[in-house]
Each structure stands twice: as structure tokens, then as C-alpha cells.
Structure 1
Amino acid sequence: MQHLEALARRFSTNNLIGCALKVATILENDGSIVQLNPLQDFAYGELDGKTTARIKALDRFMQGASIGARLSPVIHREMWEKWILLAGLGAITCLMRGTVGEIEATEGGTSFVMNLLAEIVAIVAAVGETPSTDFVKEAQQQLTRKGSPLASSMFRDLLSGRDVEVEQILGDLICRGEQVGLKAPLLSAAAVHLRVYRNKIAASR
């Protein structure tokens, strides 16, 4: 969410429109981006939820492309919800070095996932917008699904020896939680794990 805050300071919140894109991709060594499956969701809307002339015009324009575009009256909440899923999947798979299904199949795996996800949801509810009950339920199911090959792009980058966005995805969230007195030991452990990894790859260059 830092980019929204930076833009708001420079141009004011009135000049911003929210967006949340969900798509599974992988970065190849040659720099090309490959979409892993056809599923995609591209939501956008006014941050205050209003239906303005400009957002209706944008929606009409976006409907001309088959990219799963949709106008959302709760885009700000959806952006926070995406961060929950992004941070949760990234922290879980990177710290445990496995896919969702591999973690679920391990003793204590599901409990670990549920506890880490609860830390993230608590931070977002305190500093952002409380996620919907349906979203949290779906996230819990998605991150504990038996046999699921799901893994985060951050985990795929880690396995490939690439840099990872630990501060943007995990560090910023931890910092926001600390500012309101919330501790997140499991999320913090994942962040430290990835910082050690980053230091190692930086030293090898």
C-alpha cells in the first residue's frame, strides 16, 4: 500500500483509483513473463466506493478487453485482502520451503498456516480494512487445501536464486502492526528467513 500513500502525498487522494490484480505468473531467466493458468481477476474502483463519472468511463473502456476486468465498490478492502493473501502465501511457502499441499500434509502444517494467517488478518484489521468473513474463510481453505500445488511467486523466485520482495510484502506489514502494538512472531520469522536469504545472494554477486 506504500505506493498509494506516496502518490496521495504528491498528488492527493482525489487523483487516485484503486486496483487489485490477481494472476499467477512466473519470471523466466530471459526476462519474459509467463502466465501459469488462464484464471485472472482485475478489479478497480474509487477508493471511497463512490460510482463517479470517471470510474464508469474507465469501466466501459476496460470491458473492451477480455482480461477479467470488473468494477468494485469495495476496492480499498479488496486491496487489503490481496495483501493478506500475498503475504500469507509468500510467508508460508517460503518459510516452510514447500507448496500448500506439502505443508498441509505435514504434522502441524495446517495449524502453522492458520496461526500465521491469523497474525496477518489481525494486523490488516487494525491498520487497514477488516476483510470480509467470506474472504478469510476462502483464504483459510486455499492455504490448507490437501494436495494443492499452489506456491507464491516469491517462493518460486527463492528457488531460482532471484531477489525477493520481503520488505514490500512482509516487512511493511510487520512494521504497521508494530506501530499499533501487534506482534507477529510467525510472520516475523518468515521475514528474517528471507532477509538471511537476500544477504546470501547479495554476498555472492
Structure 2
Amino acid sequence: MRILVVGAGAVGGYFGGRLAQAGRDVTFLVRPARAAQLKDAGLVIRSPRGDATLRDVKTVLADTIDGPYDVVLLSCKAYHLDDAIASFAPAVGPDTAILPLLNGMRHIDVLTQKFGAQRVLGGLCVIAATLNPAREIVHLNDLHSITFGELQGGTSERVQAIAAQMQGAGFDANAVDNVPQQMWDKWVFLATLASATCLNRAAIGDILAAPDGRRVIEGLLAECRAVAAHNGHPVGEAFEGRANTVLFTQGSPMTASMLRDVENHAPIEADHILGDLIARGGDPQNGGTLSLLRIAYNHLKAYEARQARGA
């Protein structure tokens, strides 16, 4: 099975690197500078689950893609999605499966419109990783999983074949028959975490220490849950248990990666994570009063406006 990993950043580089380390047929679609760096230093992973330096990893540039691949593993930032699509489009053939690991759901609409619903799977990943100054992939905790499946539900031969490729590749791989629900569950959690930590510019523990911190998090979580239910994907008891453990732990240092992006004056996925959630409904106006979710989104859009004018 030929697997094309779009980019060799923190997420794609980690999972693609583990697949390559396990002997799978993996090619990384990269820009010339990254291709040169990988040729010189190799693909380097620093991880509690085991370090790796992979020499002679296969790379390809957008203008030298040599025909269709069986799987395209996509893990770019949402604001790079259009550029990513343009780069890997020549790799998509009649039987190619596109497996995106982006958060939210907007990218699914974009990909299915471009390539057809039959070529797009649902997917999500759980990992905390970054690139250090040497462009090495640094895995920040011991969580590293990919969950995927057919958007229409059920199992299929292609999902089973991809699962077979991922088994034994050094990370947790889960082929499921309800991937849209799991994508919504993650979206609700991530939107709550991003809204709370970005709006307060603080970690969960710091927010909970404030006079109304718990109420703010509870309010955001309730609004995000309402959107999921409005779209036919109400979160279940298992989600509630995990969310309560993570979002309401006193002293927790947890923040959303979006807050780290804000603090680094970097681009953010405000439209993809919060704006699209609001647009899909369940945004109560309460007699004209702005919802907490919309206030958090406005906060992030103001940040983007300030970044755009170089302030």
C-alpha cells in the first residue's frame, strides 16, 4: 500500500515516521527546503515512546508526484488546507482514500466537494507534538493515536486494509464504525478548551482559581454540547467523564494549542474550530445577549485583525 503523508511536520512527521520505521511504503510530500533537511539530517523523532532517526526517507515535491497513491494522510493546519489540496491533488486517483486528521468538520465539506465523498474518510488523532529549532519532531507526552473510519458509518475493506498497515507501526490505531461521532466529541472538547484558555489567556487550573472560572468553562461546554446535539451528534456519558476529568481539575496546567499560537503571535484556527461551530447552530442569543462561545470567537478574531495590521 502506497501512503502519501502530506508534510513532515509534528503530526504528519510523527505518524508517517512511525509507519516508515515499521517498514511501510511511506512518501512525504514536502517543500524543497524540508526535502533537503530530511536528506541531510533524516527524520528525527524524540519521544517517550522511543526515539528514532530515519535515514533516506522517501520524499516527493508537488510537481513530481508520480501517479496516484492508495492513501493520503493529511494533517495540515486548517488555514493551509487549500494549499495542501492543490499540492496533493495529482496523487488522488479513482481508488485513493484521503484520511484527514484535522479538527472540526469544515475540512470534510471542502474535501468531499473537491474529491467526492467516496474518497474521503473521517479521522482524528490524539498527540501533543511540536518541531524544535532543529526541525526534529518532539513528542510531548505518551499519547499517540489515530482513529478513523467511513463517514457513512460501518466498516469497509479499505478501512480494514489501512488498519492492517497501521497495526504494529508504533502508535495506537483504531478503526471504528462511528467516526463522525468521535470527531464531534473531540471538537466539542477542543472548542471548549480553546475558548476557555484563549479567552482567559490562562491554563485550566488558573481559570478554575478565578471567582467565576468554573461557571465560564461549564457555560462554554454546555454551548458546544448544544451544537453537537443540534447536528445529531449529542455527546455521551463516556465523553462527559473524560471532559469533567480534564476540564475541571484544580491546578491543571493544560492549555489549548491555540493559546500557545496566540502567545507566539502565530496564525490560529479560529474560523475552523469556533466560527464553524457557531455557524452550525445551537448558538443561543438569550434576548440579544452574546453567548460565551461567540464572545470567545470575537476575542480571537480581534487577535487576528491585530496580527493582520502588524500590531
Both proteins in one fold, TM over 0.5: yes
Q: Secondary structure at 1:149's aligned position in 2?
A: coil
* C-alpha deviation, 1:77, in angstroms: 0.4
Q: Secondary structure at 1:164's aligned position in 2?
A: coil
| Matches of 2:242 and 2:108, distance apart in 1 | 26
Q: Does 1:193 align with 2:295?
A: no
Q: Does 1:111 align with 2:215?
A: yes
Query: C-alpha offsets along residues 7-56 of structure 1, whole Å, 9 cap, x if unaligned?
Result: 22233322221111111234557766533212122101112221211111
- Residue 188 of structure 2 corresponds to 84
Between 149-158 and 30-39, the greater mean CA deviation after superposition: 30-39
- Residue 203 of structure 1 corresponds to 309
| Matches of 2:232 and 2:268, distance apart in 1 | 24
2:127 corresponds, among 17, 23, 26, to 23
Between 112-121 and 67-76, the greater mean CA deviation after superposition: 67-76
Distance 1:165 1:181, change over 3 A: closer
1:44 corresponds, among 131, 138, 148, to 148
Letter in 2 for 1:113: I
Between 37-46 and 25-34, the greater mean CA deviation after superposition: 25-34
Letter in 1 for 2:227: I
Report the aligned-residue RMSD: 2.0
More helix by percentage? 1
2:240 corresponds, among 115, 126, 136, to 136
What are the ranges of 5 or more consecutive residues in structure 2 without an aligned counterpart? 1-104
More strand by percentage? 2
Number of residue pairs matched by the alignment: 203
| Matches of 1:194 and 1:33, distance apart in 2 | 28
- For normalisation by structure 1, the TM-score amounts to 0.90
| Matches of 1:70 and 1:192, distance apart in 2 | 36
* C-alpha deviation, 1:188, in angstroms: 0.6
Does the CA contact (< 8 Å) of 1:80 and 1:128 recur in 2?
A: no
- Residue 93 of structure 1 corresponds to 197
The structure with more radius of gyration: 2
The percent identity for this pair of structures is: 35
* C-alpha deviation, 1:128, in angstroms: 4.5
2:164 corresponds, among 38, 44, 60, to 60
Does the CA contact (< 8 Å) of 2:223 and 2:283 recur in 1?
A: no
Letter in 2 for 1:83: W
| Matches of 1:135 and 1:142, distance apart in 2 | 11
- Residue 7 of structure 1 corresponds to 111
Letter in 1 for 2:280: R
- For normalisation by structure 2, the TM-score amounts to 0.61
Distance 1:147 1:29, change over 3 A: same
Q: What does 1:141-180 correspond to in 2, within 5 Å? A: 141-177=245-281
Structure scoring higher RCO (CA < 8 A, sep ≥ 6) equals 1
* C-alpha deviation, 1:120, in angstroms: 0.4
Does the CA contact (< 8 Å) of 1:63 and 1:69 recur in 2?
A: yes
Letter in 2 for 1:133: E
Letter in 2 for 1:201: Q
| Matches of 1:143 and 1:44, distance apart in 2 | 25
Does the CA contact (< 8 Å) of 1:46 and 1:73 recur in 2?
A: yes
What are the ranges of 5 or more consecutive residues in structure 1 without an aligned counterpart? none
Distance 1:46 1:117, change over 3 A: same
Between 20-29 and 4-13, the greater mean CA deviation after superposition: 20-29
